[in-house]
Amino acid sequence: MQLSDRERFSVLLADVLAFYGQEANPFSASVWWAACEAFSFEQVSRALSRHATDPERGQFPPKPADIVRQLHGTATDRSLVAWGKFFDAICRVGAYTDVVFDDPVIHAVVEDLGGWQKVCRSEMSELSYTQHRFTEAYKAYLQRGQFEYPRCLMGDRSPNDVYASRGLPPPKPAIIGDVVKARDVYRMGAKAGKTSVMYQALNAIEHGQPLIGQPTRTAA
């Protein structure tokens, strides 16, 4: 929703709570807005209507978590949907092609699992274990909220400079899911991985020399 929707959202929320004999106060209204802001007004309105007519949950006043769960699914639901999308891409695309998913969490999780190439070559006997690690890591990243991720999951192909030396453009990555969202994932992601790995001799660290990859400081 946009800020321009806040007034009619407040009216809608007041009407829904009045249906259950309750009133909205400033604090509860702010919590409701924060929880529902990511969705459109129409989505929230329909979700509130579905809650009111739900044979089991509808007898109780809605809470923000009820509506978010309805619109977004639980973390477990989302992790299983993401696994399905990821596994389908493994089967259809394979290890030799770069991929960009429409979900940045998938990028972060796949890097934790060792990268696109490694996961694509996992043994079928390890599939259930890989799924467990994937879904658990996915839920952890959802809970974290903010994290770094690689903008593209690299396939097992020649480096870009090999193509450039032959006057050829590098192959384009396969887009998995919504094209617009995948472009945002690519645009917002890091060129390298989430964690920079630096090497330095132990004696250099002990003597306070700067780590490789870190800038040296000069005296003012």
pLDDT in tens, 140-179: 998 887 899 999 999 999 888 999 999 999 999 999 999 9
Considering the domain architecture, whether residues 31 and 81 belong to the same structural domain is answered as no
**107 and 153 in contact (C-beta within 8 Å)?**
yes
Residue range 25-48, pLDDT digits in tens: 889 999 999 988 888 899 899 999
In SS3 terms, 129-156 reads as HHHHHHHHHHHHHHHHCCCCCECCECCC
* Bridge partners for 150 per DSSP: 190
For residue range 57-115, list pLDDT tens digits in order: 899 999 998 888 888 777 888 899 999 999 999 999 999 999 999 999 999 999 999 99
How far apart CA 19 and CA 15 sit, in angstroms, is: 6
Q: Answer yes or no: do 59 and 153 share one domain.
A: no
Please tell me which residue, 28 or 192, carries the higher pLDDT value.
Answer: 28
Could you give the number of structural domains in the chain? 2
Residue 203: per-residue pLDDT: 58
Q: What's the domain range around 157?
A: 75-188
Same domain? For 54 and 94 the reply is: no
Q: According to the model, what pLDDT value does residue 1 have?
A: 86
- Residue 204 located in a structural domain: no
Whether 194 has a pLDDT exceeding 80, the answer reads no
Q: Do the beta carbons of residue 134 and residue 86 sit within 8 Å?
A: yes
* pLDDT average, residue stretch 9-22: 93
Residues 64 and 80 in one domain: no
User: Is the domain of 68 the same as that of 127?
Assistant: no
Q: Let me know whether 26 and 126 are in one domain.
A: no
End of a domain among 51, 72, 93? 72
**Cβ atoms of 36 and 44 closer than 8 Å:** yes
Please indicate, yes or no, whether the overall pTM of this predicted structure exceeds 0.85.
no
Task: Provide the 3-class DSSP secondary structure of residue 101.
Answer: strand
* 65 and 81 fall within a common domain: no
Residues 67 and 83 in one domain: no
**b/e sequence 148-162, b meaning 16+ C-beta within 10 Å:** ebbbbbebeeeeeee
Do 104 and 172 belong together in one domain?
yes
The predicted pLDDT at position 198 comes to 54
Q: Are residues 177 and 82 in the same domain?
A: yes
What confidence category does residue 206 fall into, taking pLDDT thresholds of 50, 70 and 90? low
C-alpha to C-alpha distance for 213 and 129, rounded to whole angstroms: 35
Contact status, residue 94 vs residue 176, Cβ threshold 8 Å: no
Residue 219 confidence (pLDDT) above 60: no
Instruction: Return the sign of the alpha-carbon dihedral for residues 202, 208, 214, 216.
Output: negative
Residues 6+ apart with CB under 8 A from 16: 48, 52, 62
Helix (H, G, I), strand (E, B) or coil at 87: helix
With a pLDDT cut of 70, the percent of the chain lying above it is 87
